[in-house]
Amino acid sequence: MRIRFVLNGKPVETDVSPGQTVLEFLRARGIHSVKYGCDKGECGACTVLVDGKAQNACLMLVHTINNKTIETVDSLADRHHLHPIQREFLERGAVQCGYCTPGMILAAEALYREDPHPDEAAVRDALAGNLCRCTGYVKPVEAVRK
């Protein structure tokens, strides 16, 4: 099946296998910032933005992104500057092993696009689908709020 979509700002037209997930597809294209975690929609490690909304790539079949816009964390920074959420994660020590970090940052980015002034409850709610085994959430929540 042939699909077209925009990936990190660049148009893509490609053949895909009907049973392939977006997670499998992106990683096969070398986009390893989209992490392979539970593969069941429970950990958020595979979070991507689909038309600006945070979604679990492991639960989406790739043909469903036809004519949509997909963003991974790779699209947030430019060559010279980190995205502000990335910078705060680093400066506040909100990254340990880093496996959950791309998904958390994308979940936070989706929140800020909808609500530029979220309170702590909104930040915690936005990150609730992103499990972290290392940091205990205090520092990620602080980083996103900052």
- Site residues, ligand FES (CB under 6 A): 36-39, 41-46, 56, 58, 95-101, 132-135
Nearest CB to ligand FES, comparing residues 53 and 78? 53
| Residue 96 CB, nearest approach to ligand FES (Å) | 4
DSSP states of 26-52 as a string? HHHTT-TTS----SSSSS-TTEEEETT
Nearest CB to ligand FES, comparing residues 16 and 46? 46
| Residue 92 CB, nearest approach to ligand FES (Å) | 12
| Residue 102 CB, nearest approach to ligand FES (Å) | 10
Nearest CB to ligand FES, comparing residues 52 and 136? 136
In 10 A of CB 88, how many CB atoms? Answer: 20
Give the three-class secondary structure for 25. Answer: helix
Nearest CB to ligand FES, comparing residues 40 and 79? 40
| Residue 146 CB, nearest approach to ligand FES (Å) | 17
Question: How far apart are alpha carbons 12 and 128 in whole angstroms?
Answer: 31
Question: How far apart are alpha carbons 127 and 144 in whole angstroms?
Answer: 10
Give the three-class secondary structure for 144. Answer: helix
